[in-house]
Structure 1
Amino acid sequence: MPSISSVFRLFSFAVLLLAAVPAAHAQDGPGRGGRKGQRLGQLENAKIAFITNRVALTQDQAQKFWPLYNEFSAKRRELNRGGRLLRRDVTEGMNDQQIRDNFNQAFAMRQQELNLEKEYFDKFQKVISLRQVAQLFQAERDFTKEVIKRVAGPGGQAAADTN
């Protein structure tokens, strides 16, 4: 069974992958809306509906849960962005100490991500049940698999790689 951290990284990858597909065809630049912004909005709406349904949130729970989840997602996105920048920085021109420092920074980012997950695991339990928290993490994994499957298209390999 994959760790929560790896699921979150996989989900982030799926979101980026889905965003990249329409971005390749969109004529609008970043920040102008266009198809990329529309697709990301559709993805976010689909995710909200999927999780709400799978976790069986009541209206009262949803009002408390979604602001908390959105806060968590924004913080997680920032950590993932930092991690991507670190991985991108590894070049042939780096000496061994620079590569080591890069890895240590990446490990520290992953630890921050784990700490964030633990913090919000506790916060989520204050607004939804423990069983619903477990269903949330499973719903995120399932949603990610579905996104990857749709991006890969019929007969694509991406869906098989998520298991």
Structure 2
Amino acid sequence: MKNNIILLCFSFFLTIGSYAQKGYKEKIKSMKIAHITQALDLTTNEAQKFWPVYNEHEQSMEKLRREINTIHRKNQQQSIESLDEETANNIVTKYISLEEQKFAARQKMMKELRPILTSKKIVLLIKAERDFHRRLMQELKHRRRKPR
């Protein structure tokens, strides 16, 4: 029953968010917070320590995602065939560096969470994030198929 209510709220907020372009990221973020909160069932003490660590991680990941998206946009704008080898090598090197930074940020968060949460709750966090992302992608895919 709880999952149905959460799914209903998720669908509702996603629908609203798509109509109002401003604030859609905030709505998705709110839904993610609600999903993680429900999945982890944090105590008050755990929540007070968990959310600052998690929010810092999310901010660093968002910064890295923006940098990766910038690389992708630049590659779409110019013909890949027209790239010289040195430029292509620089792009690959930058991309590898950003992916390594994402991995390091994830690792750092996990290490910081170990004294705060049980290992079981950390595994639940990993699952909750994956489930949320999967639901979000399914909803977006579903919305794209719908005729307007």
- 2:139 aligned with 1:150, yes or no? yes
Shift of 1:87: 2.2
Which runs of 5 or more residues in structure 1 are unaligned? 1-17, 26-34, 157-163
Q: How does 1:67-146 map to 2 (within 5 A)?
A: 67-90=52-75, 91-92=78-79, 93-146=82-135
Given candidates 45, 54, 57, the residue that maps to 1:60 is 45
Q: Could you tell me how far apart the structure 1 residues matched to 2:137 and 2:96 are?
A: 26
Equivalent residue for 2:32?
47
Other structure's SS at 2:117 match: coil
Aligned AA for 1:54? A
The CA deviation string for residues 111-142 of structure 1, in whole angstroms up to 9 with x for no partner, is 11111111111001121111111110110000
TM-score w.r.t. structure 2 length?
Answer: 0.77
Distance in 2, Cα, partners of 1:46 & 1:52: 10
Write the letter of the residue equivalent to 2:86.
Q
* Runs of 4 or more consecutive aligned structure 1 residues displaced over 6 Å after TM superposition: none
Q: 1:60-94 CA deviation, whole Å, 9 max, x = no partner?
A: 11111111111100001101111111222222242
Shift of 1:155: 9.4
- In structure 2, the CA distance between the partners of 1:94 and 1:154, relative to structure 1 (3 Å rule), is closer
Measure, in 2, the Cα distance between the counterparts of 1:112 and 1:150: 29
Greater per-residue helix proportion: 2
Distance 1:155 1:115, change over 3 A: closer
1:2-22 Cα shifts (integer Å, max 9, x gaps): xxxxxxxxxxxxxxxx7xx83
Across the two proteins, how many residue pairs are aligned to each other? Answer: 126
Structure having the higher Rg = 2
Gaps of 5+ in 2: 1-13
How far apart in 1 are the matches of 2:46 and 2:122?
12
Tell me which of 13, 21, 36 is aligned to 1:36. 21
